[in-house]
Structure 1
C-alpha cells in the first residue's frame, strides 16, 4: 500500500530510540530521537476495560481474515479497539505480558491487513475513514503507554508508526474537500491530532491545514443551528463531540466557536432524570455525564424546561421527573447507509429515571437480522402504522404548533410517510397528576402503537405496562400485541443491556385515535375519558370538541386550544 510504504524523509521522527539500521532504512530516516506521543486525556479511552478482558487475549488465536464476523463487523474488528484492554492492563499493572501480547497481535494484523476483503462494494476494510480514524486513536495511545517497554519490539513499533503515518497520508488525500457525515468529521479531527504529534514531518503542516479546515467546515455545515449533528443520532453526535474534544485539547481556541457550545447544549436538552439520552435513530443509549461536565467547563448553560431543537426536528417536554422527546425531523442520507429510522411523530417517554414508552433504538450490529424490519422499521416506534403500506423515506415531516406553557405543553405536527397524511397532537399536562393526551388522524385503516417494558394487561377501559397506563377514548376494532429487543437503561449501573419491549397496537378502520398515557409509580390510577358534549359528527374534526379526562378525583377539560382544571385554565393557538 502506497500510504504505508511511503516513508518520511526527516530527521528526527518522534519515536522511541531505534538503532536497528534495517528498520531505519525501512522508515527512510537516518536516525530517530527518543520522544513520546501525546499523553493528554483522551475521551476515546474513558470507557471501561478490565484486566479480565486483557487476560482473555493472552495466547488467543485470531483469524484477521474471517468473514464470519459479519459484513459490517469485519470492518469494526479492524479498528483494533478489541486489543486496547492490553494497553489498559499494562498501564494498570506494568506487566510486560500485556505489551508482548499487543506486539504479537499487532504484528499478525499488520502482516495480513492487505489480504482482508470486505463485502461492502467499493469500500476497503482497512483504507476507509472510520478504520483509519479509530486505529490511529488506539495505536497512538499504545505508542505512548508502551514506549519504554522492552517487550514491545522495535519491529512492532515501526509497524505502528507506519500505520499511523500511512493513515494520515490517506486521510489528507481522501478528505481534500467537505462532505457531510460523521466519517469525515472524526477522521479530520484525528488527522489534526497526528499532525500535532509529529510536527517534524514535512507533511505535518499540510495535514494540520486540511484537518483544521475540515473540522471548521463540519462545525459550520454538519452541525445544525441547535447544536445537533447532521445525522440526528445521539450516539453519532457523541462520537463527533468526542472528536471535537480531542481538537480542543490540541487547540483551545476552538472552544470559542458557537457550535461547539451548542453541541453540548443539545446533549443537555435530551438527557433524562436518569442521566441517559434515549437511543434515537441508529443510536445506543448515551450516558453523557463526561460531555456535560466539559460543556459546563466551557460555560454552557442548558436551556431549562420544554423547548424545541427545531433544526434537528425534536420537541422536548420536561417537567420534574418526566421527560418527552418527539421526533418530527427529516430522514437523513449517508455515504454508505443512513442512520435515520422509518418513523416520524414518534415519541419516547421517561419518568423517575426509567423508560415509560420506549422504542427499538439502534441495533447491536448493523449485521443484525432485525436491523431493517425491527430497529429501523416503523413498527419499532411509538407512532401510527398503516398495515400493507411501505413507509417512504421522503416523509416531509413538519411542525404545526409548539406551546411551552405553565400548566401544559403542546406539540402538533404532520408527515407524509404514507399515502395519506398523518396528523398528531400531543398535550402534556405538567400539573400533577401529569399525563400525555395523544390525538391522531389519518385517512386509512391504521394501528396506534406504543411499546412498554412489560407485557400489556387490560386495566379498566385501558391497558397497563410497567409504570404506564394507556386509555383510549374509544374502543379499538382490534388489539394487537408483539415484542422485540431494545436496550434498557439502568441508572443504578450506568448500563443499557438488551432486554425486551412489548408493543400495544390499537387498530381502527377510521384512523382516528385519542389516547391518554398516564404514568404511575405504585398502582395504576382510575382513568376515564369522555367527550363533552358528544360530537355530532366525528368526521368533521380530528380533535374532539371537548374531552373530559378524569384521574382519580381530578377532572380536566381539554379542547382544540384550551386546558382547564378547577379554576385554572391555559390556552394555546389552535394548530392548522
Structure 2
C-alpha cells in the first residue's frame, strides 16, 4: 500500500471524550473515584521483571525520532515499561511503582507533541498503539492499584477509557488486517474488564461483531490469517485468546480452533514455526506438531513431514496491506529443517521495518530458496499455484508454478521419505540462478557443494552450473534448547545456468557429508 494512503479513518480524536477527559467525566463514568481494583483480573500482558532495574532513573525522550520511523510508533506502545509492573507484582517494592508513575506521567504529558513520519498515521491514536496501551495499562492498573498516586491513576484510567472510545468509533465496520483484528479483540477485553462503565456493553457489541467478521473473512479456511505470516497470525491468535478469556464462547468457534491447528501444521519437531514472509520465529505454547504431510491450500503452504525432517513450500499469493505488505518477493521457495534445526533457511522478517536491508534483503528474492532471474524484477501479481500435492509412505511430491517473471517458472519437489532426501527440478525459459541458503558457508565436495559444518546439506546438481554465486546475509536462527532465535548469518549458494533448467539433489547430514544414494535422479521431473 502506498504510504500516501491513510490506512485508518480520518482523525476523529475527540478533545474531551478521548484526548483530555475531564476528571468529573471520568468519575461519572466510573461511578466513584476508588483506586482499589474490584473488577475481574485482566488477562496477563507485558514483559517479565528482568530489566526493571535498568529502568530506574532512566532518562527518556518520548519525542525522539531517533527511535526510527516505525519504531517510534512501537515505542509508544509502552511495552518496554512493563517489567516495572512485573517487578512490583513479584516484590512489592515501591520503587518500581514510583518509576512506572514517573515514566507514565512523562509520556502522558508529551503524547500530544509527538510527531510521526508515516503520512496520515498518528503515533498515539492509531489502532495498534491504542490496543497495546490498553493491554499494558490495564495490567498496570490491576497490579499497581493504590501504589501509584491519584494523578497517575486518573491518567491511566483516561488512557484506557479514551482509547476504548476511539477504537469503537474506528472499527465500526470491517477491514482486513492484523491491526484491526487485534484491536477489536482488545476492545472486547476492555469492555468486559471494565463492565461497570456505561459504554462497555456498546463496545462489546461492536467488538464481537467485528471479531466474528474477522474469523469468517480474515481467517482462511485452513485456519491461517489472511496475511500468511506466522508472526502476525500468532499476534491475532494471542489477541483472540485474550478476548476469549473474557468471552468464553469465542473459544468454541471453528476458526479459533483452526488457527491453532494452522500453527501445528507448520510447527517443526524443534517446537518452532519458520519465519515465513514478514515474521519472526514463532514458539507456540500448548501446541504439538501436526502428524504427517499436508497441504494448507487456502494459505498456499505445502508441508512435508517425517520423523526427522520438515519442509514448507510457499506457493501462496502476495498480500498487500497497511503501510508495508508483509509478503515477500518469492514463490515456490522452501525451508527445510532436520534434527530440530534449520538446514535450508531464508531471511525471514527484519528486526525492524526501519532496517536498511528490509527491501533489498529480507523481502528480496535473493534471500529465498527459489530461482532468481537476473535483470528482472519479481512482480507482485505472481499467480502462484499448486499443480500437484501427493503423499505416500515412500514419497511426498509437490508440483507448482508461478508467473512472477516474464517467463513461467515450474518447480517439482520430491521428498524421498525412507532415505530422507529431496530432489528439486526447475524449468524457466530464461537464464536463472538456483538458490539455497544454509547456516554455514558452502564448499566444493565432489560434484556438489556441502555445508561447511553439520547439521547441513550436500547439494548436488545433475548438470554442472556455468557459474557459482556465493553470498550471505542476516537471519534469525532458532535454538530449540533455549527457545530463542537471535540473528546470525546465513550463506547462499547460487547455481547459474543460461538454459534455466535445474535438477538438484539435497542430502542432509549431521556430522559428515553423506554418500549419495544410487538412482536418486529417478525422482527428477523430466519435462
TM-score of the aligned structures, taking structure 1 as reference length = 0.86
- 1:400 deviation in Å? 0.5
1:225 maps to 221
What is residue 303 of structure 2 aligned with on the other side? Answer: 316
Q: Any idea what SS the aligned residue of 1:339 has?
A: coil
Q: Does 1:458 align with 2:423?
A: no
* Matched residue, 2:97: 99
Match of 1:5 among 9, 13, 16: 16
1:31 aligned onto 2:42: no
**Matches of residues 360-509 of structure 1 in structure 2 within 5 Å?**
360-432=347-419, 434-465=420-451, 466=454, 467-509=456-498
Query: CA offsets per residue over residues 305-336 of structure 1, 9 Å max, x none?
Result: 00100000000000011000000000001022
Q: Identify the residue that residue 7 of structure 2 maps to in structure 1.
A: none
Identify unmatched segments of 5+ residues in structure 1: 11-21, 294-301, 530-547, 550-555, 562-575
TM-superposed deviation, 1:160: 0.5
Contact 2:241 2:251 survives alignment (8 Å):
no
Instruction: Give unpaired runs (5+ residues) of structure 2.
Output: 1-11
Cα deviation, residue 7, structure 1: 7.6
2:267 aligned residue: 271
Distance in 2 of aligned mates of 1:25 and 1:267:
45
Q: Alpha carbons of 1:166 and 1:23: their partners in 2 closer, same or farther (altered >3 Å)?
A: closer
Higher relative contact order (CA 8 A, sep 6+): 2
Q: Does 1:83 align with 2:81?
A: yes
Helix, strand or coil: the match of 1:180? coil
Partner of 1:558: 523
Give the structure 2 partner of residue 536 of structure 1: none
Q: Is the 8 A contact 1:393 1:417 kept in 2?
A: yes
**Secondary structure at 1:527 match in 2:** coil
Q: Evaluate the alpha carbon distance shift between residue 207 and residue 303 of structure 1 in structure 2; reply closer, same or farther with a 3 A threshold.
A: same
Structure 2: distance between partners of 1:417 and 1:559 = 23
CA contact 1:229–1:237 (8 Å) conserved in 2: yes
Structure 1's consecutive aligned runs of 4 or more residues displaced over 4 angstroms after TM superposition are 1-4, 22-30
Distance 1:435 1:376, change over 3 A: same
Aligned match of 1:355 in 321, 339, 342? 342
The answer to whether the Cα contact below 8 Å between 1:409 and 1:428 also exists between their aligned partners in 2 is: yes
Aligned residue in 2 for 1:541: none
Checking the alignment, whether the CA contact within 8 Å between 1:468 and 1:520 is kept in structure 2 is yes
1:26-49 CA distance string (max 9 Å, x none): 65567334434442543x44x5x2
Q: How far apart, CA to CA, are the structure 1 residues paired with 2:474 and 2:66?
A: 23
**Partner residue, 2:5:** none
Give the equivalent residue in structure 1 for 2:332: 345
* DSSP-derived class of the 1:114 partner: coil
Q: Is the 8 A contact 1:275 1:289 kept in 2?
A: no
Cα separation, 2, equivalents of 1:3 and 1:380: 45
Query: What is the CA–CA distance in structure 2 between the aligned matches of 1:195 and 1:380, rounded to whole Å?
Result: 44
Correspondence 1:183 to 2:179: yes
Q: CA deviation at 1:446?
A: 0.3
Q: Distance in 1 between matches of 2:353 and 2:145?
A: 36
Q: Give the 5 Å matches for 1:200-219.
A: 200-219=196-215
From the superposition, tell whether residues 426 and 155 of structure 1 become closer, same or farther in structure 2 (CA, over 3 Å): same
Q: Is the 8 A contact 2:49 2:85 kept in 1?
A: no
Tell me the CA shift for residue 303 of structure 1.
4.8
TM-score by structure 2 length? 0.93
Q: Among residues 238, 258, 266, which one is paired with 2:234 in the alignment?
A: 238
| Counterpart residue number, 2:314 | 327
CA contact (8 A) 1:343 1:377 kept: yes
Contact 2:478 2:486 in 1 (8 A): yes
Query: Root-mean-square deviation (CA), in Å?
Result: 1.9
What secondary structure does 2:160 align onto? helix
Distance 1:125 1:338, change over 3 A: same
3-state SS of the aligned residue for 1:503? strand
In the alignment, structure 1 residue 113 sits paired with structure 2 residue 117: no
Question: Does structure 2 conserve the Cα–Cα contact (< 8 Å) formed by 1:7 and 1:26?
Answer: no
- Measured in 1, the distance between the counterparts of 2:243 and 2:447 equals 56
CA shift at 1:525, angstroms? 1.4
Q: Does the CA-based 8 Å contact 1:4-1:166 persist in structure 2?
A: no
CA distance in structure 2 between the partners assigned to 1:228 and 1:4 by the alignment: 39
Count, aligned residues: 510
* Whole-Å separation in 2 of the counterparts to 1:87 and 1:37: 18
CA deviation profile, 1:454-477 (whole Å, cap 9, x unmatched): 000011100011321100001000
* Separation in 1, partners of 2:38, 2:171: 27
Does the 8 Å CA contact 1:360/1:484 hold for their aligned counterparts?
yes
Q: Write the distance in 2 (CA, Å) between the matches of 1:190 and 1:7.
A: 17
How far off its partner does 1:277 sit?
A: 0.5
Moved more, 225-234 or 200-209: 200-209
What is the distance in 2 between the residues matched to 1:25 and 1:424?
64
Asked if structure 2 preserves the Cα contact closer than 8 Å seen for 1:129 and 1:184, the reply is yes
Larger CA deviation: 461-470 vs 488-497: 461-470
Question: Are the aligned partners of 1:274 and 1:353 in contact in 2 as well (CA < 8 Å)?
Answer: yes
